């Protein structure tokens, strides 16, 4: 099947039956670059002077101007949500003016991104023209997999919090407590819950040598720059009591010399996968309320990238569904989450009570799938097709060997059909990729490692402290 977008002809072998307008970003990019010959480079700078550099090509002709602009705008957005950043550099004057004046500016096409990254990096967002792009710079950290000593791992979820006490790699105590962080506006509620969990875990060990935290959100230098757990906290209290909440809870409880790490839960999930598989180079994808991502590189390091897959564009269709939060279209959240299931269910003619919550709607579709409903099967086949095409796109960005698939969407018969469809599309449309990556679901070993126990392994205990 051939589809044309911005003058670019894209050939697609497999399209989701329920969403025939879907144009895989990977295939669009490949088709675009076949005829683009003018060199161009963009770079995105983030915290600590780290830089993502991306040399590429455009057409640089009047008839392909809209295609060039679209390609570069989506590329910059992808780099921002994959790695983070507040400075965008471009060495092509025309594309610079488009990015600066039309796209990434106050009131521009990417207004949400402009303001979001200004906030989390606490720096003005800039688009800069330069003929000399900065060099790429990454600082991956060999974080995690440390099993020595007496450790605490804390995992903060939206509906429950988990904590583990781990001695020399063995979990000696763990607990899971229901809490309601998203609806509590008093940050002392969150702080007291964290401290309570830390103290309970500590009571089951002779001492505490290190603390690791896994939490949803964006963490830069261990600080909470953005997190849904604290949605109800007023902005002035967020600044004074939330940004350093984990640091304060840990050091107030165990002293300022205690080693600690606070890491996005997606990265800790990928780390838990690495520990269970006994291998590295893992991309974790969790399909639940949203699409969460995490990455452990070939050397077993956590990169410090954002890995916010939910807001990376995966569909090049200009009519793709809009995300209600960022107001952008074609991003992963509408394809690999309960929102994706609900979207395709409507396309399939499955009627869902509008009074139900998204999680309840997902359960209805799951129930239909368990009962053998053909329309529900089409929903999961559609997501499996989405996933195969998008894994080809993600592989361009990350170059991974394993993909760990988690989340409520992957549960039950629907998850099985999703995985089966994904493998079929990979084998027929991307045979080389199909032979080089391994798709994995959480096994019993992964469950034994667990999120909080994996978090406990994050910090390294200094040799002096061990002595």
* Beta strand extents in 118-265 (DSSP E only): 126-129, 150-156, 160-167, 170-178, 210-215, 218-220, 223-226, 260-264
Q: Is 234 helix (H, G, I), strand (E, B) or coil?
A: coil
Q: What tens digit of pLDDT does each residue of 264-320 get?
A: 888 888 888 888 888 999 999 989 888 989 999 999 888 889 999 999 999 999 999
The pLDDT of residue 407 = 86
- H or E element that contains 413: helix 412-429
> Shortest CA distance to 404 belongs to which of 366, 445, 452?
445
The pLDDT of residue 261 = 94
Q: What structural domains and CATH numbers belong to the chain?
A: 36-129 (no CATH), 150-269+459-466 (3.30.420.40), 274-449 (3.30.420.40)
Give CA–CA dist 407/420, Å, rounded.
17
Region 310-331: what's the mean pLDDT? 95
Q: What tens digit of pLDDT does each residue of 412-430 get?
A: 999 999 999 999 999 999 9
Q: What are phi and psi of 372, to 5 degrees?
A: 85, 25
> Shortest CA distance to 386 belongs to which of 297, 317, 455?
317
Answer yes or no: is pLDDT of 173 > 90: yes
Contact yes or no for 258/251 (Cβ under 8 A)? yes
pTM for this prediction: 0.89
Give CA–CA dist 312/74, Å, rounded.
8
SS3 content of the chain, % helix, strand, coil (to 5): 45, 20, 35
Contact yes or no for 209/224 (Cβ under 8 A)? no
> Shortest CA distance to 302 belongs to which of 257, 245, 261, 333?
261
């Amino acid at each position: 099947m051939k589809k044309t977008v911005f003058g670019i002809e894209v050939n697609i072998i497999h399209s989701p039956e329920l969403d025939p307008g879907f144009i895989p970003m990977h295939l669009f990019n490949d088709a675009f670059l076949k005829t683009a010959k003018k060199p161009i480079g963009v770079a995105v700078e983030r915290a600590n002077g780290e830089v993502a550099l991306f040399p590429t090509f455009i057409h640089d002709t009047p008839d392909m101007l809209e295609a060039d602009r679209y390609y570069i705008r989506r590329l910059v957005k992808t780099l921002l949500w994959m790695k983070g950043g507040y400075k965008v550099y471009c060495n092509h004057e025309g594309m610079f003016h488009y990015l600066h004046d039309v796209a990434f500016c106050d009131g521009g096409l990417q207004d949400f991104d402009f303001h979001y990254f200004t906030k989390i990096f606490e720096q003005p967002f800039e688009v800069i023209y330069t003929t000399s792009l900065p060099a790429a710079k990454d600082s991956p950290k060999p974080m995690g997999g440390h099993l020595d000593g007496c450790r605490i791992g804390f995992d903060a979820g939206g509906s429950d919090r988990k904590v583990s006490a781990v001695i020399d790699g063995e979990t000696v105590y763990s607990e899971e407590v229901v809490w309601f962080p998203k609806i509590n506006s008093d940050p002392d509620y969150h702080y007291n819950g964290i401290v309570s969990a830390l103290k309970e875990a500590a009571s089951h060990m002779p001492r505490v040598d290190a603390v690791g935290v896994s939490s949803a959100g964006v963490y830069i230098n261990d600080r909470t720059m953005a997190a849904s757990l604290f949605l109800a906290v007023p902005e002035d209290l967020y600044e004074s009591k939330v940004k350093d909440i984990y640091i304060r809870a840990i050091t107030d409880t165990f002293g300022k010399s205690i080693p600690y790490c606070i890491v996005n839960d997606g990265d800790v999930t990928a780390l838990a996968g690495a520990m269970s598989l006994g291998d590295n180079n893992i991309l974790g994808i969790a399909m639940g309320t949203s699409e969460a991502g995490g990455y452990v590189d070939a050397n077993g390091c956590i990169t410090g990238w954002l890995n916010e897959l939910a807001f990376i564009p995966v569909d090049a269709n200009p009519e793709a569904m809009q995300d209600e939060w960022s107001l952008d279209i074609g991003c992963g959240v509408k394809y690999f989450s309960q929102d994706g299931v609900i979207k395709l269910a409507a396309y399939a003619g499955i009627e869902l009570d509008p009074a139900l919550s998204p999680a309840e709607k997902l359960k209805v579709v799951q129930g239909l799938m368990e009962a053998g409903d053909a329309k529900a099967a089409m929903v999961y086949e559609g997501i499996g097709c989405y996933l195969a095409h998008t894994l080809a796109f993600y592989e361009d960005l990350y170059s991974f060997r394993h993909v760990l698939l988690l989340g409520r969407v992957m549960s039950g018969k629907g998850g099985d059909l999703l995985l089966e469809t994904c493998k079929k599309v990979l084998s027929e449309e991307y045979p080389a990729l199909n032979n080089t990556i391994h798709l994995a679901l959480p096994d019993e070993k992964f469950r034994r490692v667990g999120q909080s126990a994996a978090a406990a392994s994050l910090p390294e205990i200094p040799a002096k402290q061990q002595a």
